[in-house]
Amino acid sequence: MIEFDHVHKRYPERGEALSDISFALAAGEMAFLTGHSGAGKSTLLRLIGLLERPSRGRVVVDGRDLGALPRRQIPLHRRQVGMIFQDHRLLADRSVFDNVALPLQVMGYGHREIGRRVRAALDHVGLLKRERATPVALSGGEQQRVGIARAVVARPPLLLADEPTGNLDPELSREIFELFERFQYVGVTLLIATHDLSLVARMPYRIMTLADGRLVNDSGGW
Amino acid sequence: MSRVRRPSARPSELLLIWLAHHLRSARESLRRLFGMPLPTTMTVAVIGISLALPATLYVGTDNLRTMTGRWDQTAAISLFLRHEVDSDTARALAERLRARPELARVELIEREQALAEFKELGGFEGALEALDDNPLPAVLALYPGPDHATPEQLRALEQQALALPEADFARMDTLWIERLQAILALAETATLLLGALLGLGVLLIVGNTIRLEILNRRGEIEIMELVGATAAFIRRPFLYAGAWYGLLGGLCATLLVTLSATTLQGSVSRLAALYGGEFRLAGLGLGGTLAVVVTGVALGLVGSWIAVGRHLQGAEAH
Ligand SMILES: Nc1ncnc2c1ncn2[C@@H]1O[C@H](COP(=O)(O)OP(=O)(O)O)[C@@H](O)[C@H]1O
Ligand SMILES: [Mg+2]
């Protein structure tokens, strides 16, 4: 599903944020990406979502060589990648329903189909009753679940999460990870950046560790 | 490279969805404008005034053209007769002149008649009463036929008329009409120039308003890009906003022009009455109204197009 081939990312003002990263993540796999703050986790995820392009090397997602993808196709690529952020990135002036509906609206779904899918996604994360609320009326854990519902509502085959539990207490974090496990169970590929090591270590999933932009440890794959 | 999948739907269904999205965009944009009534009103008013100024000038010169056009046909020489010429002589002279082929019509305004008309204008009764004698001369209005109305012919005619023993002095109405027409031509050029300048102003106003709106909604735009919105999808509401501003501004302008015309109508009627005529000010008319509104929409669209092109690069990997 994801393939990195000698990928480098250099920021002119900061030097190499990622150096010579190579790995492959199979379809349906769930993996954690850990490492100290500034290790390059977010940068790696941004390359997959095409929010950035590598300075060198090749990134292939779902068979698409991202380097060869014309600009026009970037939006279509992003529709195939659900992204979840630590700060949720919700629209404060729209209801939970409208926030979750956004990807479907963007993709041109009809009214009824949107209603059906949004409710299914909200049901999945246990927020069906809060669809009329605005994000500020929700707790941190609930907001993150809205973010997750938005990421999965269009049923992308790949989910990326950047420190999704960074602001949550252990109990809520565990609930979120359980949610991710359920998606993995139905065949979604997940790559989750986190430094919640204590939680991650107890789960039977692949862990990739970044340090100063290098992949220093990989419990699975090659 | 595998193709990125689109939601599967029949073409006709896609068209409907596309139309529905446009409708939603347009409605959403309009709702947003009404959601911030003060800034919207200001922007619309500025656009309205900018469009109303050249439109008013246009209507003004257009009316003057109509007015002078009417006088053009009656371009005449007023021949004032000497004071001692009595009315019988004057009538005989008028009769003689009517026989001349180059004159289509000759009108005699006798002294008593001139006095009566003068009195009707009002305000002069006292002054006239103070005089024992009627101070007004008799006037012959000479209307040349259409084939004898060039400025040269008119001047020749004036010379001949002046040579008559009964003539005191003559006044030609053509010179000031020629001058007025030169001024009108100038005014029309100025209107065009002013229109172009103010049109540019409208572009800048709409462009800047849309630019601020884009900056205000940066976060929202980023999120839309994140979930896979195309550049066209993100641009659409801003383009609609520009078109709405233009439409509202255009309507505001036509309202302003109509209001000015209605306000001026009273004074114009009074003025026309002083010249013994009647004149109804023409407003913008249907064509003019349409032109102003369409211009507004077009300028709004182009203005927002420029802003959107400069400030929305669309989904892009850095
Ligand atoms: N847009 C950027 N411009 C310049 N430097 C950046 C940018 N994004 C990240 N970096 C740098 O790249 C390194 C990796 O950052 P990041 O991927 O955010 O790390 P992590 O998510 O693991 O904390 C950091 O040193 C950071 O300062
Ligand atoms: Mg990070």
In degrees and rounded to multiples of 5, residue A22 shows phi and psi of -135, 125
Residue of A93, A106, A109, A112 to mutate, interface with B, max B Cβ within 10 Å: A106
Mean pLDDT of chain A: 91
Query: B72, B176, B94: which is closest to B139 by C-alpha?
Result: B94
Answer whether A136 touches B (CB < 8 Å). Answer: no
Joined tokens for residue A141: 């854990």
- Asked whether the beta carbons of A93 and A134 are under 8 A apart, the reply is yes
pLDDT tens-digit readout, A18-38: 999 999 999 999 999 999 999
Q: Which B residues in the span 8-67 are in contact with A, Cβ-Cβ below 8 Å?
A: 13-14, 16-18, 20-21
Model pLDDT, residue B103? 86
The ligand 1 atom at the shortest distance from the C-alpha of residue A45 is 17
Rg (CA), chain A: 17
Query: A97, A152, A145: which is closest to A119 by C-alpha?
Result: A97
Partners of residue A48 in chain B, C-beta under 8 Å: none
Model pLDDT, residue B177? 67
Partners of residue A49 in chain B, C-beta under 8 Å: 226
Residue B302: helix, strand or coil by DSSP? helix
Q: Is any atom of ligand 1 closer than 6 Å to the C-beta of A37?
A: yes
Model pLDDT, residue A80? 94
Query: A3, A132, A75, A159: which is closest to B6 by C-alpha?
Result: A75
Our mutation pick for probing the ligand 1 site, out of A11, A48, A210, counting the most ligand atoms within 8 A of Cβ, is A11
pTM above 0.95, yes or no: no
Q: Give the integer Cα–Cα distance in Å for B255 and B48.
A: 9
Q: Which ligand is nearest to the CA of A162?
A: 2
Model pLDDT, residue B75? 58
Q: Give the residue carrying structure tokens 């994801």.
A: A2
**Residue bearing the CA closest to ligand 1, atom 27:** A38
Starting at the earlier edge strand, list the strands of the sheet with A81-85: A81-85, A158-162, A189-193, A30-35, A206-211, A214-218
Dmax (CA) of chain A: 49
Joined tokens for residue A215: 């992949």
Partners of residue B230 in chain A, C-beta under 8 Å: 75, 106
Contact A64 B14 (CB under 8 A): no
ipTM above 0.90, yes or no: no
For each of the domains in chain B, give its residue range(s) and CATH number, in order of start. Answer: 23-70+178-311 (no CATH), 76-173 (3.30.70.3040)
Q: Give the integer Cα–Cα distance in Å for A62 and A191.
A: 14
Contact A91 B220 (CB under 8 A): yes
Helix locations, A132-169, DSSP H: 140-152
For each of the domains in chain A, give its residue range(s) and CATH number, in order of start. Answer: 1-80+157-222 (3.40.50.300), 91-155 (no CATH)
- Asked whether the beta carbons of A96 and A134 are under 8 A apart, the reply is yes
Model pLDDT, residue B1? 38
Collect all residues with Cβ–Cβ distance below 8 Å to B257 and sequence separation of at least 6. Answer: B52, B55, B56, B59, B283, B284, B292
Give me the tens of pLDDT residue by residue for chain A, a chain 222 residues long: 999 999 999 999 888 999 999 999 999 999 999 999 999 999 999 999 999 999 999 999 999 999 899 988 999 999 999 999 988 899 998 999 999 999 998 888 888 899 999 999 999 899 999 999 999 999 988 999 999 999 999 999 999 999 998 878 888 888 889 999 999 999 999 999 998 888 888 888 999 999 999 999 888 754
Q: Give the integer Cα–Cα distance in Å for B49 and B55.
A: 10
Give me the tens of pLDDT residue by residue for chain B, a chain 318 residues long: 344 445 555 777 778 877 887 888 899 899 989 988 999 999 999 999 999 999 999 888 888 877 766 555 555 788 898 888 888 888 998 999 888 888 888 888 888 888 887 777 666 666 667 777 777 888 888 888 767 767 677 788 888 888 988 888 888 766 666 777 788 888 889 999 999 999 999 999 999 999 999 998 888 899 999 999 988 889 999 999 999 999 999 999 999 999 988 888 888 888 777 766 677 778 888 899 999 999 999 999 999 999 998 887 754 544
Model pLDDT, residue B122? 63
Q: Is any atom of ligand 1 closer than 6 Å to the C-beta of A36?
A: no
